[in-house]
Amino acid sequence: MNHPHERLADYVLDLLEIEEACQIEAHLASCDACRTEVKALREALFALTDTLPPLPPRRHTWARILQRLGPPRAPRGWIAAAVAGILLALGTATWSAVLTRELQALQAERLLLSAYLTADRVTVRPLTTPQGTALGSVLFLPDGRALFFLTTPPPPGKAYQAWGHRNGNRVSLGLTQTQVIEVRWRGFQFVGVSLEPAGGSPEPTEPLGRVPVI
């Protein structure tokens, strides 16, 4: 039996494509050794998050929650009495669900950052503007992955977009409205980040900074 040991960490971190993840899950169904390894990886990774300082909610979390929920509408007449109880129950459930998603996103970012910081042979490079203003860091792994960690989230309605630079051409590597974005660096001389509209751009419109790859 072939054991996919080299892909189990990626499976735990949810970095695999759906087809690959399904293959791993099918293997785990009949392999006690790999199930034990996955369990140990999960316990170790979640334990690492306890060693990090607590992260407060991102600056625009509440603004985004309120924007998503929209302004309250005030029913008139007997309709108000009829729907008051329903709105109370649904409102509580909605807020709880939104906050849960926000907390899960923060936890996922912490877990991913922990995995990079504790990896063997990680290379950390500071990310700055051409004027020298600190933007964050880029963490490189020798397997071709890299993680951008920005010191602040993008403004509301904006997103960070990562780019690979190769022979004067720029290729989009991903988009995020958080402070973390994972990319693949192989085949590029530089990787960089720009500030773009929430949906991204075909070319960088507001480049922020770039670093050479390892």
The model's pTM is 0.55
pLDDT of residue 76: 47
Instruction: Give the tokens for residue 214.
Output: 């390892």
What was the pLDDT predicted at 74?
A: 47
Closest CA to 113 of 93, 88, 139, 92: 139
**How many residues are listed for the chain in this entry?**
214
Contacts of 92 (CB under 8 A, 6+ apart): none
Are 40 and 48 in contact by the 8 Å Cβ rule? The answer is no
Q: What is the residue type of 135?
A: L
Cβ atoms of 173 and 191 within 8 Å: the answer is yes
Spatial neighbors of 83 by CB under 8 A, at least 6 apart, are 75
The CATH 2.60.40 domain(s) of the chain lie at 122-212
The predicted-structure confidence for 43-95, as pLDDT tens digits, reads as follows 655 554 454 445 555 555 556 555 554 555 544 444 444 445 544 444 544 54
What is the H or E stretch that residue 18 is in?
helix 18-28
Residues 6+ apart with CB under 8 A from 23: 4
pLDDT tens per residue across all 214 residues of the chain: 578 877 787 787 777 788 888 888 888 888 888 888 778 667 655 554 454 445 555 555 556 555 554 555 544 444 444 445 544 444 544 545 545 565 566 677 777 877 887 777 888 889 999 998 988 889 899 999 999 988 888 999 999 999 999 998 999 999 998 889 999 999 999 999 999 999 999 999 999 999 999 7
106's CB contacts (< 8 A; 6+ apart) are: 55, 57, 58
CATH fold for domain 122-212: Immunoglobulin-like (2.60.40)
